[in-house]
Amino acid sequence: MKMYKEIRLSGTGGQGLILAGLILAEAAGVYDGYEVIQTQSYGPEARGGASRAEVIISDHVIDYPKVTSPDIVLVMSQQACDRYGRQVKPGGIVLVDDTNVGSIPALEEASVVTLPITDIARHDVGRQVVANVVALGALVGATCIVTPEAMEQAILARVPRGTEELNKKAFSVGLETGREARARHETP
């Protein structure tokens, strides 16, 4: 069976989702050996405007470079949830940062996984600025979209010098949180 996944990471400017999209693409393409396309879009504001990164991961040639029907949608703001939360394909997953999202759409044909991503970054890791890395960990733990080893390598290749240990902790905490969420959803 061929592997083809479309992923949309969405939130507001300043949350590091463009960087998260680049890291996800590098984890899949450079370290796990998949075909990858990554695109991004953000509002004209430096912080607070809409932000979106999209990644397509495939084990065969990707014919069309745009995400049209995402298998996985990460929403880290209410605005992103309102705009993209329902745009997941049937059988897909919406991963919601319920620290920043209070109103979640009811989805009949997709799974909604709520995690306090920003609170985890703030309280369990100690720095809110790594919420994007916590989100990447949660994404990998909940979906197995790339290997944890590939994601950690990609994170460490991209984060600023001197922040490696902080980011490793953020990824590890997010990964475990995502795995726990996946176990809860798989258990009847």
> How confident is residue 13, by pLDDT bands cut at 50, 70 and 90?
confident
> How confident is residue 2, by pLDDT bands cut at 50, 70 and 90?
confident
Per-residue pLDDT averaged across 82-105, rounded? 93
> How confident is residue 47, by pLDDT bands cut at 50, 70 and 90?
low
Which of 2-6, 48-52, 105-109, 153-157 comes out lowest in average pLDDT? 48-52
- With pLDDT > 70 as the criterion, what percentage of the chain qualifies? 94
- With pLDDT > 90 as the criterion, what percentage of the chain qualifies? 82
Residue 63, burial from CB neighbour count under 10 angstroms (0-12, 13-18, 19+):
exposed
Per-residue pLDDT averaged across 82-99, rounded? 94
The 3-class secondary structure across 137-165, one letter per residue, is HHHHHHHCCCCHHHHHHHHHHHCCCCCHH
CB 132 within 8 A of CB 154: no
Q: Domain-by-domain residue ranges, the chain?
A: 4-186
At 56-77, the pLDDT tens digits run 999 999 999 999 999 999 999 9
Per-residue pLDDT averaged across 114-124, rounded? 97
Answer whether residue 132 shows pLDDT above 80. Answer: yes
The CATH number assigned to the domain with range 4-186 reads 3.40.920.10
> How confident is residue 42, by pLDDT bands cut at 50, 70 and 90?
confident
Q: How far apart are CA 143 and CA 138, in angstroms?
A: 8
